[in-house]
């Protein structure tokens, strides 16, 4: 089965692809970078601050 990479839209085989759902390691790392840069987010309630952390 062929699927489109969510980063570059290139079609790649699903089975046997170690980077799925991405077509390559490069696209996988681009996606990871977007998460690290907070370009993606997950909806939900704001996390409570840990009691051990100081508030500003």
12: its two tokens: 């790649």
Q: Does the residue 32 lie in any domain?
A: yes
For residue 40, give every residue at least 6 positions away whose Cβ sits within 8 Å of its Cβ, in sequence order, or none: 34
State pLDDT tens for residues 33-53.
999 999 998 888 877 776 666
What is the tally of structural domains in the chain? 1
Q: Does the residue 8 lie in any domain?
A: yes
State pLDDT tens for residues 1-32.
999 999 999 999 999 999 999 999 999 999 99
52: its two tokens: 């051990």
Cα–Cα dist 49/56, whole Å: 11
Q: Does the residue 24 lie in any domain?
A: yes
- Please classify residue 33 by burial: count the beta carbons closer than 10 Å to its beta carbon, then call 0-12 exposed, 13-18 middle and 19+ buried: exposed
């Amino acid at each position: 089965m062929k699927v489109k990479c969510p980063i570059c839209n290139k079609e790649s085989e699903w089975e046997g692809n170690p980077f799925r759902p991405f077509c390559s390691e490069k696209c996988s790392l681009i996606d990871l970078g977007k998460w690290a840069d907070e370009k993606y987010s997950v909806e939900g309630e704001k996390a409570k601050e840990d009691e051990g952390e100081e508030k500003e």
